[in-house]
Amino acid sequence: MGRLDGKVAIITGAGRGQGAAEVRLFVREGAKVCFGDITDDEGMKLEAEIREMGGEATYIHLDVTSEEEWKRAIQHTEATYGKLDILVNNAGISIGTRPIEETSLADWEAMQGVNSTGVFLGTKYAIPALRRNGGGSIVNISSAAGLVGIGRSAGYTASKGAVRLFTKATAIQHAKENIRCNSVHPGPVNTPFIQELLDNPDKLQERVSRVPLGKIGTPDDIAYGVLYLASDEASFVTGSELVIDGGTTAQ
């Protein structure tokens, strides 16, 4: 028996990295998954990989800043798998690290668009589908940077802090409809998201030195936390923050 047997999920930003790990884990645990990204070649490869293993997953092109693409994603999921139980708002971007005065308006708006507005739109259009299904779970991927200020990353920190509080507002508004909503706050994880850091051994070692557990996380470290919040095991958990950061924000 899988922990998500009979469940249908949408996972965003899942063509590679953290989102792809979530897709693989969800499928292994019995879910049927529609997963979206703008990296179509990688998304199609992942779909083929999962189908070869006997899993059920469908890749869809999904720019999370587009209302129309969100509407199509929800419609496609219900048409393909009959319902929606779980939404994982995983898509996120970071554009460099620089002081506020050197941050362009375009970069600021791009980070707010994907990291914050994308979560809003996904939630907005998933709620009616979850309601039709009698409830469900929304898991929003924030960041350790959504809990504490990160120097030289004001745009990213602001966008992830917005996800944290939007999650709580969603949880309160929809608790009586059996729609749960929680946020996950990863620290540094070994994915292409931190490729610049991974490519620089000195910077990587400096970053690792600030993690009490003395290492960076793996995609599965985060995916198992997402799995718990998505599953019925977390039926009494809503409006919470699951921190998976090696102890970084405990200091």
216 secondary structure, DSSP code = P
Checking 144-153 for CB contacts under 8 A at 24+ apart, the result is 144/185, 144/186, 144/187, 144/243, 144/245, 144/248, 144/249, 146/183, 146/185, 147/185, 147/241, 147/243, 147/249, 148/249, 152/97, 152/98, 152/99, 153/94, 153/97
**Any catalytic annotation for residue 228?**
no
What is the CB-side half-sphere exposure of residue 39 using CA atoms within 13 A? 15
- Point out the catalytic residue in the list 125, 156, 224, 228: 156
CA 220 to chain centre: 13
> Alpha-carbon distance 47 to 149, whole Å?
37
**Which residues are marked as active site?**
156
